[in-house]
Structure 1
Amino acid sequence: MSVLPNRDRQAERREATRQEIVDAAWEIARRDGLGAVTLREVAAMIGMRSPSLYSHFDSKNAIYDAMFGQAWTLYLAEMRERRLPEEPRRAVLVIAEHFFAFSLADAARYQLLNQHAIPGFTPSDAAYAPSVEVMGLLQETLRGLGVTDTADADLLLALCGGLLDRQLANEPGGDRWVRQLPRVIDMFADEVGLPGPSLRSPR
């Protein structure tokens, strides 16, 4: 007969409370912006006194840190589940489209992960670790497609980041810059010598 391990119910409750705090912080950030996240506002949202938050997070930046790590962990999990077409040029487009979809689905999350939007906030090594895994997996995937130079991978990130910044800054709910993605990936693919038919729509 197997014996189930003893559950640490206190640890489970503590983790559930931490998750509730992080969820509340995301709700505030999405509603009012990342800068609006305060210990007082988070505590009020979950029915907790502000001093009680310090038993879970010792500062507002610690909450941002948990948000940062959570978001990159989610993106990493999505990357691992994603299936790419065999044709290299189209595979790069799918990678870019996935990053765009993830980013545009949550502007506050994109700002926290990619724009250094919080003065004085630097993620901890633990929170930063999944983003390092994301970059490693991206570079490994690109090498498999024929993009072997790190500078070329950097160029792809810069092109996608530029389009995303324009989209979020000027037309958050639209697709004016999103529609440019096939053209931009074609230009990138031409530059680095990726084979395959053109991705852009004929004019």
Structure 2
Amino acid sequence: MQPPTLTRDQRRERTRRVIVDAAWQLSRERGLTGWGLRDLGAQVGMRAPSLYVYFASKSALYDEMYAQGYRELRAAYQSLLTAELPEEDRVRAGARIFFEFAVADSARLQLLFLRVIPAFVPSAPSYALASEVLAELSKALRAVGIVDPTAVDIWTAMLTGLATQQVSNDPGGSRWGEALDRTVDILLAGLAPGQQG
């Protein structure tokens, strides 16, 4: 029995996925800005101008990578969202999921959480994915009494800072990962109303 023939749209989507996967591979090897469309074309077996059939620009390709990264982060959180856990345990587990997700792929960390490509701005649909993740975090923090938007900013800055320190200064190690639980304790004690000294 022969496999079903793919439709034109299915072939196009499959090719787009191959291109995005190759862009991630090059980004991991050379950095997010260390490759060009010629490099990417060679990686996927096509000439650089042919890439424009699938992505209007390199920025559009970065946008798809950004969206993919946030879909992956949302998927990483999925089991936590439905788990029966005390709210503080959910927040702690969420911090661990974020940290491990961030340090697992330095190119993805840079694209999602740092501005290393000055000209790149995510599209509204891609940024909406990031906003959904932040909304879930805000909801989890509200459940433990952290309601101030500035406190949410502090939370994200501290956890992103730990992840970037880990990737930058101890890649493959555990130094900043070991500080995560203590950092979460400090944040929970200091950011929830009535718990400051």
State if a TM-score over 0.5 links the two structures.
yes
Shift of 1:37: 3.0
Matched to 2:72, the amino acid is L
Identical-residue share of aligned pairs (%): 39
Which residue in 2 is equivalent to 1:49?
47
Which residue in 2 is equivalent to 1:9?
7
Contact 1:156 1:188 (C-alpha < 8 Å) held by counterparts: yes
CA–CA distance in structure 2, aligned partners of residues 105 and 141 of structure 1: 23
Shift of 1:146: 2.3
Ranked by relative contact order (alpha carbons within 8 Å, sequence separation 6 or more), the top structure is: 1
Structure 1 residues 121 and 59: alpha-carbon distance in aligned structure 2, compared to 1, 3 A threshold? same
Structure 1 residues 91 and 66: alpha-carbon distance in aligned structure 2, compared to 1, 3 A threshold? same
Matched to 1:112, the amino acid is L
Matched to 2:85, the amino acid is P
Shift of 1:174: 0.7
SS of aligned partner of 2:33: helix
Which residue in 2 is equivalent to 1:64?
62
Matched to 1:27, the amino acid is Q
Contact 2:91 2:140 (C-alpha < 8 Å) held by counterparts: no
SS of aligned partner of 1:146: coil
Say how many residue pairs are matched: 188
Aligned counterparts, 1:75-86, within 5 A: 75-82=73-80, 83=83, 85-86=85-86
Residue deviations 1:24-68 (CA, integer Å, cap 9, x gap): 000101111111232111110111111111111121111111100
CA–CA distance in structure 2, aligned partners of residues 192 and 46 of structure 1: 48
Contact 1:69 1:127 (C-alpha < 8 Å) held by counterparts: yes
Residue deviations 1:103-145 (CA, integer Å, cap 9, x gap): 1110100000011111211111122111011011111122123
Q: CA RMSD in A?
A: 1.9
Which residue in 2 is equivalent to 1:117?
116
CA–CA distance in structure 1, aligned partners of residues 6 and 28 of structure 2: 33
Contact 1:84 1:94 (C-alpha < 8 Å) held by counterparts: no
SS of aligned partner of 2:53: coil
- Per the normalisation by structure 2, the TM-score is 0.88
Which residue in 1 is equivalent to 2:97?
98
Query: Where in structure 1 are there 5+ consecutive unaligned residues?
Result: 1-6, 196-203
